[in-house]
Chains A and B, each alone.
Chain A
Amino acid sequence: METPTKVRSHYDVIVIGGGPAGSASAMLLAERGLSVLLLEKDQFPRYHVGESLTGTAGDFIARAGLTEKMAELDFPAKPGVKVVGREGAEFFVPVLRPTWQVRRADFDHLLLQLAISKGVEHVQGAAKTVLTEAGRVVGITVATANREDGDAQAVRAAFVVDASGQSVFMSRQELAGPRRVAAFNRQIALYSQFSGVASDVGETHNSTVIFYRDTYHWSWLIPVSSEIVSIGIVLPTASYKLRGGTSKAAMAWGLEHMHPELTQRTASATQVEAMHVSRNYSYRVDPFVGPGWLCVGDSHCFTDPIFSFGASFALTEAQAAADAIVAAIANPAAEPDLLAGYATYCNRGQGRAADLIRYFWKFPAFFAYMTKGQHGGDLIRLLAGDCFTPEPLAATIEMKKSLEDSPVLHRIPEGRGRDIAARIYERFDFFQGVDAAFLDLSEGVMIYFILAEDDIDLYDSLRDFEEQLVSDFGRDTLAVLSFTPDIIEAMPPLDNAYTIVDRRRK
């Protein structure tokens, strides 16, 4: 247990969570002269996944004066990302600016210590509830490690930052919106750290390597020190069940079958960290700002981690959050506009990253071509984390066009029906577990899904999707019906329906 720390009754800002989002927000606020309490429930250092950083994170590290520390901690300098598919498809995207591969236990601890050195008060403890007055968040109740009696202490603040990560504190407190799955990605990730992994040679030495196989089957290989490599295997839920349904079996399957290079490089590897598992993990929380509070990083958005944006985006958002909070405390009347601006900024970056990832999964061969063509430079910038620029890069516009424009939609008459179809279409590349989707406009808007299997997670995802449709398009004559293979006879004839997707054709 840590030495008991006395928590004061009032701070300018309370930051919940001591990961990169929390530590960066806290240190930037403290540097601007604000009193900051940072609450972290875990004793650091602690394991965390997300070990590769992008160029924008490299900038942050350089500005924070941590460059020498990175070398001292034996964090490998990252030359870029190598993406390896089947049939020899391979491309390498160099980093735009110096950045690193890190062991998050040590990196997050480093950032936390830096925050403390800037005057942030760090307390090990958990946020319990939110204090509100007239619709404004004015503080939280805190249970600290040295108050095991269960009595939470009230702490007030002019502003509260939720950097609680996957705990989505403000969402669970029902101040932020509900945590919604961002897509129909029912995936499982298994990951650990290994020694004895053969290293890459030449310009790709110490690169992140992404091996991909069929859609949503991929794995990462990230050297996190001169000895240790992080390896993760990501599979759709259905595929995971097929491979035996245990993390050990799925990891073994992945190392053997994801790609020959992965198999070769891990032939004499030894696992040196516990096996970790994450399920169904992409989500968004919206809204994620409000009077007296905002969310940073994973506490409002977590996307498919394939391009390692997580920790870097947390640092980028933390800088925008600190600017907004400092300005809002100085001029309370401007707070609503400042928070709206912050939300727009975050949504812009997260949205462009999501488009990049969707495009990669939907059109992997075209993605590889794009790295060689006129948009190659833009892709390097986007993968470096430059997703927050005021105007989209040309590559983003090009990718969006391909994602939104489809002959599937051209055949549907313009209007509410087509708009709804476009929304389904936008999601269909994530429709794991769905065999087909149809849209019938003869009476209102009827949406039919044929499910690949009877699965509770799938029903949850569909209900969630229906709620989103209803909130965007209204309940009026809108229905979503789903059928499993065993009750397919109960489905009405779909002679007049439009096919959005039908995988049974193959």
Chain B
Amino acid sequence: MDATSVNQALKGFITEKLLHGDGADLTDHTPLLEWEIVDSLAMVSLLTFVQKTFGVTIPDAEVSPRNFQSIEALQNLIVNVAQDRPEAADGDTNKGA
């Protein structure tokens, strides 16, 4: 799993689906929860997107605001979960965040 491609895929999804194409100001550190970019409905669609795109199922215990607060946090979470379960990942598992 490549951290850069995870990052790009997340930015693409958030820009297109949650910001209706207006992602000009979106950075790795944009507060997704405080600025209400990710609400409870968006959270469910994000989880589905992660499952479909990376083949990674985020364990319930990791579904925490800490891991959803920014793109950086989400990217680290996805890479770490994929590393712990290499059989679920779709590629190189040696690269960390």
Chain A contacts to B: CB under 8 angstroms: 85, 87, 89, 362-366, 369-370, 372-375, 398, 401-402, 405-408, 410-411, 428, 501-503, 505-506
Could you say which of B34, B61, B68 contacts A408, with CB atoms under 8 Å apart?
A: B34
> What is the bound-complex CA distance between A375 and B66, given in angstroms?
15
Bin the interface of chain B by size.
Answer: 20 to 34
> What is the bound-complex CA distance between A375 and B60, given in angstroms?
10
Selected interface stretch from B3-11, B36-44, B48-56, B86-94 = B36-44
Q: Does any Cβ of A come within 8 Å of B33's Cβ?
A: yes
> What is the bound-complex CA distance between A197 and B88, given in angstroms?
49
Find chain A residues with CB under 8 A from B66 CB.
401-402, 405
Known: A87-B41, A366-B63, A373-B59; 10 extra A-B contacts, CB below 8 A, are A85-B40, A363-B65, A366-B65, A369-B64, A373-B63, A375-B61, A405-B69, A407-B70, A407-B73, A408-B31
Known: A365-B43, A405-B69. A506 touches B60 (CB 8 A): no
The answer to whether A373 and B65 have CB atoms under 8 Å apart is no
- Enumerate 28 A-B pairs (CB-CB under 8 Å) in ascending A order: A87-B40, A87-B41, A89-B40, A363-B65, A364-B40, A365-B44, A366-B43, A366-B63, A369-B63, A370-B64, A373-B63, A375-B61, A398-B64, A402-B69, A405-B66, A405-B69, A406-B31, A406-B34, A406-B69, A407-B29, A407-B34, A408-B31, A408-B34, A411-B29, A428-B34, A501-B34, A505-B35, A505-B36
> What is the bound-complex CA distance between A363 and B68, given in angstroms?
11
Find chain A residues with CB under 8 A from B29 CB.
407, 410-411
> What is the bound-complex CA distance between A362 and B68, given in angstroms?
13
Find chain B residues with CB under 8 A from A407 CB.
29-31, 34, 69-70, 73
- Nearest A residue to B41 by beta-carbon distance? A87
- Nearest A residue to B38 by beta-carbon distance? A365
Chain B contacts to A: CB under 8 angstroms: 29-31, 33-36, 39-41, 43-44, 59-61, 63-66, 68-70, 73
Find chain A residues with CB under 8 A from B36 CB.
503, 505-506
> What is the bound-complex CA distance between A364 and B36, given in angstroms?
13
A504 to chain B, nearest CB (A): 11
Which has the most chain A C-beta neighbours within 10 Å: B29, B36, B63? B63
Q: Give chain A's interface secondary structure class.
A: helix
Find chain A residues with CB under 8 A from B73 CB.
407
> What is the bound-complex CA distance between A366 and B63, given in angstroms?
6
> What is the bound-complex CA distance between A400 and B41, given in angstroms?
23
Could you say which of B41, B44, B65 contacts A402, with CB atoms under 8 Å apart?
A: B65
- Nearest B residue to A375 by beta-carbon distance? B61
A502 to chain B, nearest CB (A): 7
The answer to whether B31 and A373 have CB atoms under 8 Å apart is no
> What is the bound-complex CA distance between A63 and B29, given in angstroms?
53
4 tightest CB-CB pairs across the interface, nearest first? A365-B40, A402-B65, A373-B61, A373-B60
Find chain B residues with CB under 8 A from A375 CB.
61
B42 to chain A, nearest CB (A): 9
B66 to chain A, nearest CB (A): 5
> What is the bound-complex CA distance between A401 and B69, given in angstroms?
12
A413 to chain B, nearest CB (A): 15
Find chain A residues with CB under 8 A from B70 CB.
407
Find chain B residues with CB under 8 A from A366 CB.
43, 63-65, 68
> What is the bound-complex CA distance between A374 and B39, given in angstroms?
23
- Nearest A residue to B65 by beta-carbon distance? A402
> What is the bound-complex CA distance between A161 and B63, given in angstroms?
45
B36 to chain A, nearest CB (A): 6
Find chain B residues with CB under 8 A from A402 CB.
64-66, 69
The answer to whether B31 and A369 have CB atoms under 8 Å apart is no
- Nearest A residue to B40 by beta-carbon distance? A365
- Nearest A residue to B25 by beta-carbon distance? A505
